[in-house]
Chain A
Amino acid sequence: MLPNEDLPQGEDKAIIVERMFDQIAPRYDLVNRLMTFRMDVGWRRRTVRDLALEPGSTVLDLACGTGDFCNDLLRFDLNPIGIDFSAGMLAAAGTDAPLVRADALQLPVPNAHVDGVTCGFALRNFRDLSGFFHEISRVVRPGGRIGLLDVGQPSNPFLRWGHSVYFGTIVPKIGALLSDPSAYRYLPKSVDYLPPSEEMLAELRNVGFVDAVRVPLSGGITQLFLGTQTTQNLATNC
C-alpha cells in the first residue's frame, strides 16, 4: 500500500495517509500504548496542562484519531471537538467529545472562533505543514493557545542512537505483529517530513504565535510546541 521509496507528497500524500489510518484504526491505541510504554499518556496530559486554558474553553483537537487527546481535554474540564480526515479513525473513536470529519487545512470553523488547538503526532502527516500553521492561526482567537506534539530527536548522542534503533527497527516489528506492516514502516520514515524544530518555531511565530516555544519531553524523543495567538492572521481566509 505504501511506497517503499521516496515519501509521497501533496495530494498523493493526503490520499495515502488517509487510507493508511483507515486501515490501522482498529488497533491504533493498543500499538501506541505498547510502543511508547504508555509515555504517550503523560505527554498528552502535559500538553493539556500547559495550554493553561480556563475550564469550559473550546479546543479543537486536530487529527484526533481515536480520541485520546479529546479524553484528556475532557478530564481537564475543557470542551474538545475532535476533527479527523479518516472515517476509519473516527468510527473507532472512543470519546464522548463531538467529532467532525474534516480537513485540518480547510477547517470548518470561522475566524478567531476557538480558544485552543491541540494536535498529537500528526504534524508530519499533513500534506502542507505551512498551510496547517496558517489555518490554526486563523481559527484561534487572540489570546488562545496551541499545543502541538510530535516526535523529536534526542540531543544526547547515546539516547539518539538507541532511539533510532528502537524507532527504526523495533517499532515496525511491533506494528507488523499487531497491525499493518507497511504503516509502521512508514512511521519512522515519516519523521523526515518534519522540518528542523527551529524552522517550525520560526514559522509559528511568524503566523502569530509570537511566544511559541519548543519543549523536549522524555529526553527529546517527543517535542511539544506551545504558543499563544497574539495577532489575527486573516491572510489565508478563503
Chain B
Amino acid sequence: MALDPGLLEILACPDDKGPLRYLPDEDILYNPRLGRSYPIRDGIPVLLISESTDLDEDEKKRVDEITADGSQSSSPEG
C-alpha cells in the first residue's frame, strides 16, 4: 500500500528534521544524510529513532543508487 502523497510532503527525519526518501518496494523511508532507514509497517511509517536502522556502507551505496534517479522525497529539499 503506497503512502499518502500528502503525508510524504509533511514527513521528515525525527532526528535531523530533514527530508526522507521513500522506497515503496522496500517499505522504508531513508535519510541519506545519516544513512538511516525507518520502517513502514502495515502502511504506517514508524518514525522512531529507536526503530531505525543505520545502514552499512554497501547498503547505503545500494539505496543511494536506487534513489539517485529522483525517487519521491518527503518535504521540500534544503
Contact = CB atoms under 8 A, between A and B. Distances in A.
A110 interface: yes
A109 B75 CA distance: 9
Chain A residues touching B, majority SS: mixed
A120 B32 CA distance: 35
Interface string B55-78: 000000000000000000001100
Interface in A220-238: 237-238
Interface residues of B, number: 24
Contacts of A238: 15-17
Q: Which of B11, B13, B42, B51 has the most chain A CB within a 10 Å cutoff?
A: B11
A108 B13 contact: yes
A106 B7 CA distance: 17
A106 B15 contact: yes
A106 B46 contact: no
Contacts of B49: 103, 106
B4 interface: yes
A81 B10 contact: yes
Given A113-B10, A237-B17, A103 B48 contact: yes
A102 B49 CA distance: 9
A197 B7 CA distance: 33
A187 interface: no
B12 interface: yes
Interface residues of A, number: 23
A107 B14 contact: yes
B17 A110 contact: yes
A22 to B, nearest CB: 14
Contacts of B3: 98
A32 interface: no
B45 A101 contact: yes
B17 A111 contact: yes
B14 A79 contact: no
Top 6 nearest A-B pairs by Cβ distance?
A108-B47, A98-B7, A108-B14, A102-B47, A98-B4, A106-B14
Interface of B: 3-4, 6-7, 10-18, 41-42, 44-49, 51, 75-76
